[in-house]
Structure formats: C-alpha cells, structure tokens
Amino acid sequence: MVHTRAKRPRRGLRHALAVAAGAGLLASGLGMPAATADEQELSIDLAAGTGAFHGGAAGTLYGLYGQDVPTNNLIEGMNLRTVSTKAQDGPQHPGADALDVVKPLADSTGGDVYIYMTDIHRGFPYQWEGDTPGEKVSIYREKIAKQVDQVLELPEEYRDNIVFVPFNEPEGNMFGTGEWSYDRTSWLDDPADYFATWDDFYRLIKGKMPGARIAGPNTSILYDQVKGFLEHTVEAGTVPDVVTWHELSHPEQVRTSVATYRAWEKEVFAGTAYEEKTPLPVNVNEYAFNYHTSVPGQMIQWISAIEESKVDADMAYWNIDGNISDSAVQSNRGNGQWWLFNAYGAMSGHTVEVTPPSPGENYTMQGVATLDEEKRQARALFGGADGPSRVRFDNVPAAVFGDTVHAWVREIPWTGQIGDSDRPEPVAEGDADVQDGAVEFDFGGDLPELEESSAYEIVLAPGGGGDASPPRALWQGSYEAEDAAHTGSGYSLNGPEGSPKEVSKFYTSGGYNVGGLRTGSDVRLDFTVDVPADGTYDLRVFANSLNTYGLVAEQGPTNVFLRVDGEDEQELHLPLGYKWVVWDHADTTVELTEGEHTLSLAARSLDGTGATKGDAIIDRITLSQPAATADQAVYEGELASFDGGGPVYDLPQDGSTTGAGAARLADGESATFWVYSEADAEARLGVAALGGGRSRLAVNGQDVQNVTRASGEVAVSLSGGVNKVTVTATAGTVLIDHLAVAPGGGVLEPREYQAEAADLAGTAEVADFSLADGGKAVQGVGGEPGNGNTATFRVTADTAGLYAMRVRYANPEQSEATHYNPDPLVRHADVSVNGGEARRVTFPHSFHENNFWDLTVPVRLERGDNTIAFRAEELPNFDGESYASDTWPGVLLRSQYAPVLDRITLAPYAVGQP
C-alpha cells in the first residue's frame, strides 16, 4: 500500500486535505507528460557511473569541542571524515583542542584531525611573537616542534589520524601585509620567505615523524600563485601530502577550483617523482556561510559540488565550536543539517550522473545520487528549489531491481540553526513499475511541492515487499510572522536577513522576522490559520533571543502568552541563541476545530497579571495534524548501516513484513539504526526478527536484550536526540525486517531527586532560579584543583544494575570573544557512585544559568541506598601538570565548575538487561 503526506500550505495562504492512502503516488516511466514550463526536472542516469562514493563533504572546522560534545552518536551518525581544529592547548578559543578530539573522531569513524598549528596563537590575524622576522620564525618553530612531540605521545593507533597544517591563510596572516606578519610583504607578491619557512617546517615535522602528513598551503582561496607554490615544492622536495585551500564563496566555485587545481597538478608533477602519487588528496577545509549552514536545501548544493569533485571539505566555523558547524544541538541532538549528512553518509557504491535543471547555477535545484549493485539500492539527495519539480531515474537496471522498485521519499526540513529535528519526514512510500527503464517522481502533482529550505531523499530498492509506513502528519501549515496582524507599540519588521546576496547573514524563513515581544511592551501577533479537521495540533514557534542581551540576561528564555481565538491561554518560554537571528523552536499543542482560527502571541496575559520578560524575535509558526501513529517509528532493516551483512529481498510475504526487504546478518555482523527520541525518556523497542538465529540488541553501547523471533519488546531509557541502536548476530543467520520504536508504557519507573536536597560541601549552595524545578537549584560545585566543593545525592535502587541518570542542568559560562565567534565553555563534572572511580561527564553551554537541559548518563547502582557525588576542577593542559589559566592569564579556556544542578532522575536503563 502507498502512503503519502498531505500538501502543505505555503506562507499560510492555502491548505490541502490529506491524500488518501493508496492514491496513485509514484509516477512511472516515459508515459508521463514532459515537465511544464514552471516545473524543474532533475534527471539521474543510473547507467552513468562517476566514481566511487567518497563522502568528503562531511567535514567540519572547530566542530568538535571534546569528549561527548558532541556525542560519538552524532559523529558516527553523520560519518564525519575530517575535522580541522586548533593546536593542543592553543588560546584561540575554549575547547576544540586537537588531541582531545582525535580519539572520539577516530573511534567513531576513523576520521582525520587537521591541526591548525597556527592556532597556538591568540587573536586573528594571529599575534605572532617576535620583534624581528628571524625571531618570529624561531619562536614559532619551537611551537611547531612541541606540537609534533605532543602527537608522538599519542597512542600509535591515533597518530595516523593526524594531519599537520603549518600555516593558515598565510597571505592574510604570517606572510601577509598586516601588523603581525613576517615583514609586511605578501608572499603572493614575493614568496621567497614563505617558501623558505615552509621548507624548513616541512623538514622539521618529517624529521621528527617521518610518516607525518602535512597539508598546505591552506590559502583563503585558490590563488593563481598556488601553482607556483606547487612548482617550488616539487623542486625542494616538500610537496604537501594533502593540498588545502578555502572556498568561502559559492558551491559552483568548488567545481571550478578543483578542476583548476587538478590541471595544475597534472602539469607541474608531469615527469617528476610525484607524478605517480597524483591525484593528491584535497581538502577544501573551510566552506559555506551563515546563510547556508543548518539549511538542508542550501547545503545539498555544496554537497553536490564537493562529492562530484571527489575531495574532502570542512564546513566553516562562523559561530560556536562543538556543534559540527551548526549541525548539532546540545550534545546529542541534530538539526535538519545533521539528518542531511546522516542520509549522505548512508550512501554507498558509486556515484552516478545527475543533471540538474540549471547546471552551473548557484541557488538552484542540485543533487547527488549513488547506485550500490551489491545492496541493490539507489539513493538520491536533492534540493534547493521551490515549487513543482520532477525527479527522474533513467536506465534503472533490471538486473538489480527487476521490473518494480520500492521507493521511500523523505523530506529533510530546516529546523533552525539550533533547533532539534526529528528523523526525516516521510513524504511517500510504495511500489512503482519501471517503464522503459525509468521511474519518475512528480513534486507538485502526486507529491507535495518542494520547499527551498529542505533537502529530499529518495531511496530505491527492489519492489514487491511488505507494507509501507504511514505518514507522521496528515496535514501541515507554515505561517510567516511578517504576515501576521499586529497590535500594540514597539512592533518591528526586521530584515531582509540572509539571502544569496547576503550570505554572511543567517537564513530566515521568508527573509524577514518580527520583534516587539519584550519587557514593557503590549505587542500581540495574530496568525490566521485554517485547519482541515477537529483535533489536537502540534504548534511550533520559531523564535530567538540573544542570551547576553540586556533585557534577556536577567531571566533567560523570554516568556510570551499563546492563545486560541482569544482564549485557552498558555505561557511559552521561547528559546535562546548565541547571536540574534539564530533560530530554534518552542513546541506545544493546541486544540482546534475545523476551519479558521486566530493564534496569538502576546506580551501580556489576558488577566493582566502576566507580562513578557526579555526580548524575542519571531520567524514563523508551523502547525501539523499528527497521524494516530505519529509517535511510533519503523526503521527498516534493509536501510540500516551495516558492519558486515547486508540487505536481502524477495522475502516470503506473510503479512508481518514492512518495506522492501530485511537485514541479513551472520555471526558477529551487525546492523545499526539511528533512532530519534524527543526526550530523555522510556521507549519500547521491538526487533522484528524473521526465521531462526539469535542476536543481541544494544542501545548507546549498552546491551539490553537477547533477541529471537519471539522476544517481543524491550523497555529502554533513550537519550534525547539521536540514539545508536545496534543488532548484532550471535548465533546462526539472523534476518531483521525492521526495528519498531514506540512511547514507553511506564515500565521503567523513574525517581526524582532535587539538587537542593543533596548533601552540599564547600561553596556549593542552593540558589533561586525561576525556571528550575521548584524554583531552586545548586551552583558553586567545583573550583580550583583540589577543591572540596561537591554535591552528593543519596538515592535508592530497588535492584542492582544499570540505571539511566537524567541530569537537569544549566551552563552559563562564556569566555570573552576576540572576534565574531562567541566562545561558550563546556563544563564537566566528575561523577562517582558510592565513592568509586569517577566518570567524567561533559555539559555543553545552555546559553543561560536559567535555561535548563537534560542529559542522560548511565550509572550502575547497588540494591538499596547509594550515593552519587558531583565534583569538578579545572583540567590541566596536555602535559598533565600546567594549566591554561596560568599559561594564558585572563583568557578563560577551561572551566573550573560543574553545571548548575537542578535535579537528577533515575530510571532502570532497560528491563531484562543482562
């Protein structure tokens, strides 16, 4: 059976009822009429291979902060390949030290860390010490040598994941014309001094570590002078192992620059010892702007160009570190961009030729596609267009798919720079006949029109499978704040915001937002909506407040009053951000009857006793009518990530299977599912196993169930955001049709413990926080090394075993920034149970001391009474002895403190656990 989601209203101007299940959704073959004048067509030729799938666009500059910020789930789930980051113990920004992030990256994906060795300096341009050119080189040379020595102290298995970058944008820094440069002569005009220093540092690094990889020249663009750099390094024997430059321009420039470089490389290396080493690896290790990052419809255009060019690339660092360049939310949640890269990382096999409707043009519909004959799957990612469009697969191989395909069509929407996102939205699923070798998808006909901010995924597998998953939403609507009516004083229309002409500004739906909901105002925004049926609707308010802004700093999240047709008032607290126009969302539900309604956001309550405190801007609101099964999810076995094993199709149809096939696993092989949870909460997981064989189910690295065909469900404590759920075969051949996830049934009974009831020592104290549970929380845990400032919870467990400890916390600590990057700090707590060995837990910045988030930590408890102690102190530098606070006095690089603690909640991790 085919299921499709309803078409959505555009800018609140129209709506459409849900399309009935079983409608003719997936158009097939050449019998379809040609695209009309207002339609765009993207064609995919599955017979035209363009090389092995590379996955190189999944890179980030300063995207990892350290242990669990972000979690290994987010790193692995987006198949992160490369991370460019600062020198260990460098003062450029808090966190993101190269040797702190190499282990989580290497353990998760085997990816490489590119050390920006220059970031051992403060400021940008770099504040290069020394009074003369000779002194500057000598002092920096010592720093280079120390960094190599530090890498040599790493365990051997991590050294191979390091790439050294001796210079960053040398034309604007050390060998440019500025105050801190070598002699204020740009190497672009006279390269002699730069070339000599490059050669010296190259030989220094290789002398200490012969197998080291060195990257350069790392220019801000691919200057023509880079060809001369290559010619010099060939002559000197100092050719970089990886060639790097930045593309802070537009997606099409990637294609142009890579082609230009490859032509130079071929010419310069011809007839030399380097000819056989070509093509050299390339890393475009800074790409994209604020307007692009976090927006799937924009980022797919970069991914398309980078994948076509078969190079690595790192998303730029314009904002805060540790969030994978605006992909991660908190520590374990992803926004729409993260899910785009999750889909990109799921590609395999080889890429195929994709012809967009406007080849060579930026900000148009673009895509990337793969065919994996062994898996019998084709995957396409595309987006960047608005309105009616067609996507066509040509030369669909009968030997792989037969005469019918099973297709999944999913939307990956924009959810804001720091807005948590559910897994991609199912648009349609079902079988379609292959006619004359083609399958076509009509967006704007049988399928909803494309949204410019969204990316889309289509996966093809052999047809004739089981049931399709139903849609999560029966109807959706989006309404821009600038279109809402308004009353009261202080209203403002803000914009235009980011656009193709203003890429340094942030993407904003519709290009504008509105202000006026602030302390002392009486502004009210009235949104007119028209819904198709009676029921409970999910409401999402896209909003932002600057966490450090004067009106916001006192309370934190800005409160506003939501009402329906002037009644049914509820108070909402709108989200904070690290800058203005950085969007997140506040979510709630409203009861609506069929027809037209007015949804209001007001700065004053109906009874006059409540008023907004803070200052918020509003981008838009969205409404959706959830399906009856919206809170349930099915993850297909054939679409899982495999470590050994793979998909199998042509299963016997007995009415119990879903999708197109299943995962087949032999002993020791595994399939991984990336499972979303809205909250840190209990869920029910059911593995649909077919036939014989046994397997083991693990959630976030913890074994929770031994699986057979008759195992049934298991209750598990999931972490909010992205969970790694793995099925590993332990005996015989295992077939996994799907993993089903549903809300918990109250099996894992939680117990709450308020922080103010904990045993406090030293400076730890109870303080008032209006948004804490009960209005109070504990601050002051931690301090200088050796402090005794602790909080100890006394807790009770009915049985011994593994428990999920959900910590509700806030972290307000932020360092004074030197340029455009806000510099929030991660705090940590060393948590020990019953006086045992402490586990270090990290807590990302929550943007305010009164803004509380949840974080799940597994702990083992004994039956009966237990103690859980929180302590903290400043962590030392790499040498284990010195401290950043002494090396860089006045520069806040590592926190001394644990977060503000509101409460902990303890629940069994799972039932029936080993």
Q: Which pLDDT band holds residue 470 (cuts at 50, 70, 90)?
A: confident
Span 854-878, pLDDT tens digits: 999 999 999 999 999 999 999 999 9
Torsional sign, CA 905, 906, 911, 914? positive
Other Cβ atoms within 10 Å of 33 Cβ, number: 8
Torsional sign, CA 854, 415, 290, 617? negative
The predicted structure's pLDDT at residue 709: 86
Element (H, E) at 307: helix 296-309
Q: Which pLDDT band holds residue 32 (cuts at 50, 70, 90)?
A: very low
Closest of 894, 461, 413 to residue 622, by C-alpha? 413
The predicted structure's pLDDT at residue 655: 63
Res 494 pLDDT > 90: yes
The predicted structure's pLDDT at residue 859: 98
CB 425 within 8 A of CB 455: no
Res 667 pLDDT > 60: yes
195 vs 398: CA distance, rounded Å: 56
The H-assigned helical ranges of 310-395 are 336-345
Instruction: Give the amino acid at 848.
Output: H
The predicted structure's pLDDT at residue 25: 43
CA atoms within 13 A on the CB side of 106: 19
The predicted structure's pLDDT at residue 36: 54
Res 914 pLDDT > 90: no
Render the burial of 880-892: b for 16+ CB within 10 Å, e for the rest: eeebbeeeeeebb
Res 15 pLDDT > 70: no
Element (H, E) at 299: helix 296-309
Task: Determine which of 244-253, 307-316, 621-630, 706-715 has the lowest per-residue pLDDT on average.
Answer: 706-715
The predicted structure's pLDDT at residue 654: 63
Q: Which pLDDT band holds residue 825 (cuts at 50, 70, 90)?
A: very high
Res 5 pLDDT > 60: no
Closest of 170, 174, 163, 168 to residue 98, by C-alpha? 163
Res 179 pLDDT > 80: yes
* Distance from the Cα of residue 554 to its chain's centroid: 30
Mean pLDDT, the chain, whole residue set: 94
Q: What percent of the chain has pLDDT over 90?
A: 92
334 vs 720: CA distance, rounded Å: 10
Query: What are the backbone angles phi and psi of residue 887, rounded to the nearest 5°?
Result: -70, -40
The predicted structure's pLDDT at residue 802: 97
Record the tokens describing residue 170, joined without a space: 């040398």
CB 688 within 8 A of CB 656: yes
Span 333-388, pLDDT tens digits: 999 999 999 999 999 999 999 999 999 999 999 999 999 999 999 999 999 999 99
Span 234-271, pLDDT tens digits: 999 999 999 999 999 999 999 999 999 999 999 999 99
How is residue 33 annotated by DSSP?
Answer: P
- Per DSSP, the residues of 822-861 read -EEPPEEEEEEETT---EEEEE---SSTT--EEEEEEEEE
Closest of 4, 13, 9, 3 to residue 623, by C-alpha? 9
Res 4 pLDDT > 90: no
Query: Token pair 């720091």 is at which residue?
Result: 418
CA atoms within 13 A on the CB side of 809: 31
Record the tokens describing residue 834, joined without a space: 């019953």
State the average pLDDT over residues 732-757.
96
Res 33 pLDDT > 90: no
725 vs 640: CA distance, rounded Å: 10
3-state DSSP call for residue 769? coil
Other Cβ atoms within 10 Å of 759 Cβ, number: 12
Beta bridge partners of 371: 350, 378
17 vs 678: CA distance, rounded Å: 27
Closest of 777, 798, 806 to residue 866, by C-alpha? 798
CB 330 within 8 A of CB 29: no
Closest of 348, 352, 360, 393 to residue 254, by C-alpha? 360
Q: Which pLDDT band holds residue 62 (cuts at 50, 70, 90)?
A: very high
Closest of 581, 629, 662, 564 to residue 326, by C-alpha? 581
Give the strand pairing for 535-544 and 492-494: unpaired
Furthest CA-CA distance within the chain: 84
Q: What percent of the chain has pLDDT over 70?
A: 95
Res 454 pLDDT > 50: yes
3-state DSSP call for residue 716? strand
Closest of 569, 486, 571 to residue 525, by C-alpha? 486
Three-state SS annotation for 77-108 = HCCCCEEEEECCCCCCCCCCEHHHHHHHHHHH
The predicted structure's pLDDT at residue 912: 61
Span 598-637, pLDDT tens digits: 999 999 999 999 999 999 999 999 999 999 999 999 999 9
Res 35 pLDDT > 80: no
CB 498 within 8 A of CB 290: yes
State the average pLDDT over residues 702-727.
95
Closest of 506, 590, 602, 623 to residue 558, by C-alpha? 602
Res 20 pLDDT > 60: no
Rounded (10°) angle between helices 192-208 and 133-152 = 30
866 vs 794: CA distance, rounded Å: 6
